[in-house]
Chain A
Amino acid sequence: MSEHHLVREYLSGRLSRRAFLRRAAAAGLSVPAVSALLAACGSNNKNANTGNAKATNAGASNAATVAGGTTTAGQRFKGTVQILVGFGTGNAPAQIPVQQELAEAYMKQQPDVKIEFVRVPDSTAAQQKLTVATAGGQPPDVVLPAGRYGVYLFVDQGIWQDLGPRLAQSGVNLDAYPPNVLEAIRATGYYPQNSKAAIGVPAGYHVHVMAYNKELFAKANVPEPPHKWDTADWTYEKQLEYAKRLTLDKNGRSAADPGFDPNNVVQWGMGHFFPEMFWHGFGGRHYDPATRKAQFDTQESIGGLQWASDLVNKHHVLLTDVLAKSQGGGEGGQAFLWTSGKVAMIDMCTCDFASFGQAKDFKWDIAAMPKGPKRTFAFLNVDVGAIPRASKQQDLAWDVLRFFLIQQPNASHLILDSYGAIPPEKGQESKFAENIKGKYPNLDVQVILDAIQYCSGANEDWIPNYAQVNQLTGKHFDVIMLGQAPADSEMRKLQSEAQAAIDDWFKNNKLPTA
């Protein structure tokens, strides 16, 4: 990849900052040149001086559309608001102008307020920034956007302001959001089932669908997968059957043929599918809040992981991330092989159009995810905007968050045109579909519109000792997917370690009662 090409990719937003740095270094771009291009990050300088204004019911609801939006009626604020960007999307150069435009619109209405964006390259850096800044008494006032995982890491640290009362006070109609999107801000598991607590405001979501290479299907004489969700015979078994026929070795034999050489695969039936999808499809889950027990050693959990492992190690039809990286493209190995036409079916997030969507040399479309033995499961990625409890200007922070994420048309503008996500309010998803249809006229966008009811964020549900249990899960899943141990024994090990971590959490922490 040439330097110019790299820079173009980065400026167009198709390449993340991290990927850009990595590739630039590999391409030999000088560090000063790269640094100059990427120089970002705000200062810690804050004139933290809140106005004495109280947040009031501004009468602005998420349904009220006011050109340019309004700040809280009649209230004058003063101070500097820092918005931390880096927990998820939002830092690609193409995404910044809309954020800046909204910030300027707000500052025009509140001339004594200054909005500063503190940009950090990735979620690891964002976690560290939030931790250190908060410990140092200089927390950001708003974190926007932040993925569910990043936000949940901090839930039991009591870091987030409960926005439930403010949402209620502002008359925000929460029924306007799909229930599975709303789950993300409820942090159910930590807060009780019927709690009105909200750790943030939805800032868009992404669904996962299955993208497939139409030409490889036609060439292998395999029928195309159904576009309608919950089609009775579109199951994991059927997907495996197709995948076998679509996986080829260097001699042109498919994985369904005798004499297939699994060590020299040149075309994969499946790529970029995560073991968690099969795990949940089989009915597996992390944790049961009622009994406070980890659920890794259930038959469903073991069955799902063994299925995922078999796709790699027994049937040789699933391209793993490790193998994809080793085949070229580094971190973007899966996208590289898909866009090179070497993979027939992939799990594709609607957030992946900038990478996987760049396939131009063959015809492709999107279809429904297959059904597991217990359920149809596809990932749901929800972003939220949140306010750290330690922010010294809660009212002002809320007013800014409301202006960005609740008031229309600001919210849709930000979510669609900057984050490239699906606006969370029901009915707004068609705008996203129209955008996609405009760019990819041959795609069946109805698959995306129908996906929301089958998508779930269960893989990121809150559990006690969240980071540690997730790290343990990653470790043991790796072992299973590498074929180093059967799911049965490894999941039991995971169960024991995860349960110890959960028990340890309960020794030192209590769940909130409301």
Chain B
Amino acid sequence: MRAVLERYRVPRARALASAARRWRARRDEAIWAYVLILPWLIGFVGLTLAPIVATLLLSLTDYRVFQPELTRFVGLQNYRTALVHDASFRTAVRVTAYYCALAVPLDLIAGLALALLLNTRVAGVTVFRTIYYIPSLISGVVLSLLFLWVFQPQFGLANALLEALGLPRQQWIYSTRLVIPSLALMSVWGVGRTMIVFLAALQGIPTELYESAQIDGAGPLAKLFAITLPMISPAIFFNLVLDVIADLQIFTAPFVITKGGPAEASLFYVLYLYRSAFEQFRMGYACALAWLLFLAIMVLTAIIFRSGSIWVYYEGGRR
């Protein structure tokens, strides 16, 4: 019996020693991993997580940045004020929603159209891809200053183009009616980012699908709707989510170009949030506005994700 036990003891001891070594290696690896991510972790907790929690708490107060000692807990009053009483809040929501309704489809359609054009095999196509992508790298402030002149009614390029087409000149950003469409049009300048995602997706479509369709007698439109769009639907989904999030948070262009005018026709949500915080010093209210925006974005994103199961096709996955 003892001999039997001895036979098993030695390998078991070896196995235990080996397991302990593996455990120590894993522990060391984990320690190093934490050490290496520590700078990020500190940054995340100190500069992102803590401010997020702070804004949530501040949104429940009438926080006074210059007289913090007078700050009072007001519960949900800031949220109620925004949702029930504040006319400027409603204007900001309306303006932002209108802009999104114009800018998101415009960006997706223009990005896809460009990607389709630049997906062809012609000489110098890589140069064109670069040329169309570069504008999306330009800073928002520079872009805004540039478009201030593009939309200049007297000397601007936009009106020069209209005149060349025999169309009447417009007031663009100086018109309450056209300011939002103008800014939506301006957003197309950054279409390079959308285009590059579509381009990558287009290049991942197996050519056999097009060849089969060709044999079946499909025309270009049939190929587009039956093959291209379904196959790149994950990219459309990705761009849609990013565009909605970005466009709901638009700030630079209205801040630099229109300042919310004329007559608050371009009072975007984040611009109103900024005004509430830094011009009206209603920090608690501004925090509440930020959380309402966050909730709106979360709900919209959830809806898009839920709808994705209907229209997004993942190869090898569920439709």
Whether, in the assembled complex, A322 has its beta carbon less than 8 Å from a beta carbon of chain B, the answer is yes
Bound: A478/B176 CA distance, A: 10
Asked whether B262 lies within 8 Å of A482 as measured between CB atoms, the reply is: yes
The CA of A154 and the CA of B278, in the complex, are separated in Å by 11
| Chain B CB within 8 A of A328 CB | yes
Q: Which of B44-52, B96-104, B150-158, B308-316 touches A?
A: B150-158
Q: Tell whether, in the assembled complex, residue B263 and residue A478 are in contact, meaning their CB atoms are under 8 Å apart.
A: yes
Question: Could you tell me if A326 and B154 are in contact, using CB atoms closer than 8 angstroms?
Answer: yes
Chain A CB within 8 A of B67 CB: yes
**A26 near B281 (CB under 8 angstroms)?**
no
Let me know if B64 and A482 touch, CB within 8 A.
Answer: no
Given A22-B145, A131-B281; A322-B66 close (CB under 8 Å): no
Query: How many angstroms between the C-alpha atoms of A327 and B152 in the bound complex?
Result: 8
CB contacts under 8 Å to A, within B55-88, are 62, 64-67, 72, 85, 87-88
What's the minimum C-beta distance from B169 to chain A, rounded to whole angstroms? 9
- With a cutoff of 8 Å between Cβ atoms, the chain A residues found around residue B181 in the complex are none
Most buried by A among B67, B85, B280: B280
Cβ contact of A500, chosen from B64, B85, B149, B153, cutoff 8 A? B85
A300 CA to B102 CA, complexed, in Å: 42
Closest CB in chain A relative to B227 CB, distance in Å: 44
Residues of B within 8 A of A482 (CB): 176, 262-263
- Distance in Å from the Cβ of A474 to the closest Cβ of chain B? 8
Contact B146 A328 (CB under 8 A): no
Taken residue by residue from 108 to 143, chain A's Cβ proximity to chain B (1 for < 8 Å, 0 otherwise) reads as 000000000000000000011001001100000000
A508 vs chain B, min Cβ distance (A): 6
Interface residue B291 (Cβ < 8 Å from any Cβ of A): no
- Which residues does chain A contribute within 8 Å of B261, judged by CB atoms? 474, 478
Contact of B176 among A325, A467, A484 (CB under 8 A): A484
For B64, give its contact among A157, A327, A468 (CB under 8 Å).
Answer: A157
On chain A, the residues within 8 Å of B252 by CB distance are none
Is A153 in contact with B279, judged by CB distance below 8 angstroms?
A: yes
Residues from chain A with Cβ under 8 Å of B64 in the complex: 157
The distance from the CB of A51 to the nearest CB of chain B, in whole angstroms, is: 26
Q: Inside 8 A of B153's CB, which chain A residues have their CB? A: 325-327
Q: A22-B145, A326-B174 are in contact. Are A467 and B263 (CB under 8 A)?
A: no
Cα A127 to Cα B134 in complex, Å, equals: 35
Cβ of A7 within 8 Å of any chain B Cβ, yes or no, is no
Which residues A471-498 have CB closer than 8 A to chain B?
Answer: 471-472, 474-476, 478-479, 482, 484, 497
B263 and A31 form a contact (CB under 8 A): no
Contact pattern, A 1-34, Cβ under 8 Å of B = 1, otherwise 0? 0000000000000000000011001100001000
Measured CB to CB, the closest approach of chain A to B42, in angstroms, equals 19
Taking a contact as CB atoms under 8 Å apart, the answer to whether B66 and A154 are in contact is yes
B68 to chain A, nearest CB (A): 8
Q: Looking across the interface, which residue of chain A has its beta carbon closest to that of B65?
A: A135
Contacts of B278 in A (CB 8 A): 127-128, 131
Kindly provide the distance from the CB of B98 to the nearest chain A CB, expressed in whole angstroms. Answer: 17
Q: Is A158 an interface residue (CB 8 A)?
A: yes
Give the chain A neighbours of B155 by CB distance below 8 A.
328
B129 at interface, CB cutoff 8 A: no
Is B243 at the interface (CB under 8 A from chain A)?
Answer: no
CB distance from B13 to the nearest CB of A (A): 62
Residues of B within 8 A of A154 (CB): 66, 281
The answer to whether A158 and B148 touch across the interface, beta carbons within 8 angstroms, is no
Query: 8 Å CB contacts to A: which residues of B266-283?
Result: 275, 278-281
Task: Please report the C-alpha to C-alpha distance between residue A467 and residue B85 in the assembled complex, in whole angstroms.
Answer: 18
**Does A322 lie within 8 Å of B262, measured CB to CB?**
yes
Say whether chain A's binding surface is mostly helix, strand, loop, or mixed.
Answer: helix
User: C-beta contact mask, A457-479 vs B, less than 8 Å → 1, else 0?
Assistant: 00000000101100110111011
Please tell me if the beta carbons of A26 and B62 are within 8 angstroms of each other in the complex: no
Given A157-B66, A322-B262: A467 in contact with B148 (beta carbons within 8 A): no
Q: Whole-angstrom distance from the CB of A140 to the nearest CB of chain B? A: 13
Residue in A134, A135, A467 whose CB lies within 8 Å of B280: A467
A330/B152 in contact, CB under 8 A = yes
For B142, the chain A residues whose CB sits under 8 A away are: 25, 31
A-B interface contact total, Cβ < 8 Å: 83
Given A22-B145, A326-B154, A468-B280, does the pair A159, B66 have CB atoms closer than 8 Å?
Answer: yes
| CB closest residue in chain B, given A326 | B153
Q: Tell me how far the C-beta of B208 lies from the nearest C-beta in chain A, rounded to whole angstroms.
A: 48
Bitwise interface map of B from 154 to 167 toward A, beta carbon under 8 Å scored 1, else 0: 11000000000000
Specify which chain B residues have a CB less than 8 angstroms from the CB of A497 in the assembled complex: 87
Mask of A132-174 contacts with B, CB within 8 angstroms, 1/0: 0011000000000000000001100111000000000000000
Q: How far is the CA of A488 from the CA of B81 in the complex (A)?
A: 27
Q: Looking across the interface, which residue of chain B has its beta carbon closest to that of A322?
A: B174
* Bound complex: CA A484 to CA B66 (Å): 39
Give the shortest distance, in Å, between A324 (CB) and chain B (any CB).
10
On whether the beta carbons of B148 and A471 are closer than 8 Å, the reply is: no
CB distance from A157 to the nearest CB of B (A): 4
A508 to B70, CA, bound (A): 10
Residues of B within 8 A of A128 (CB): 278
Q: Which residues of A contact B171 (CB under 8 A)?
A: 322, 326
Contact digits for A492-514, partner B, Cβ 8 Å, 1 yes 0 no: 00000100100000001000000
Closest to B267 in A: A475
Within 8 A of A (CB), among B239-275: 261-264, 275
CA–CA, A472 to B264, complex, Å? Answer: 9
Q: Are B148 and A478 in contact (CB under 8 A)?
A: no
Interface string of B164-200 (1 = CB under 8 A from A): 0000000100101000000000000000000000000
Q: Is the CB of A325 within 8 A of B174?
A: yes
Whether A467 contacts B279 by the Cβ 8 Å rule is yes
Bound-state Cα–Cα, A471 to B261, Å: 11
Contact of B65 among A21, A131, A327 (CB under 8 A): A131
Return the chain A residue nearest B256 by Cβ. A22
Chain A contacts of B275 at CB under 8 A? 467, 471
**A293-304 to B contact mask, C-beta < 8 Å, 1/0:** 000000000000
Residue pair B66, A475 in contact (C-beta under 8 Å): no
Collect the chain A residues with CB atoms within 8 Å of residue B72's CB: 508
Q: Closest residue of chain A to B259, judged by CB?
A: A124
Separation of A322 and B66 alpha carbons in the complex (Å): 36
Do the beta carbons of B145 and A25 come within 8 Å of each other?
yes
- 8 interchain residue pairs of minimum CB distance: A326-B153, A478-B263, A25-B145, A157-B66, A467-B280, A475-B264, A328-B154, A322-B174
**Given A330-B148, A467-B280: 12 more A-B contacts, CB < 8 Å:** A21-B145, A25-B145, A26-B148, A131-B278, A157-B67, A157-B281, A158-B66, A326-B153, A326-B171, A327-B153, A467-B275, A468-B280
A–B pairs, 26, beta carbons within 8 Å: A21-B145, A22-B145, A131-B66, A131-B281, A154-B66, A157-B66, A158-B67, A159-B66, A322-B171, A322-B174, A326-B174, A327-B154, A330-B148, A330-B149, A330-B152, A390-B66, A467-B281, A471-B279, A472-B88, A474-B261, A475-B264, A478-B261, A478-B263, A482-B176, A497-B87, A508-B72
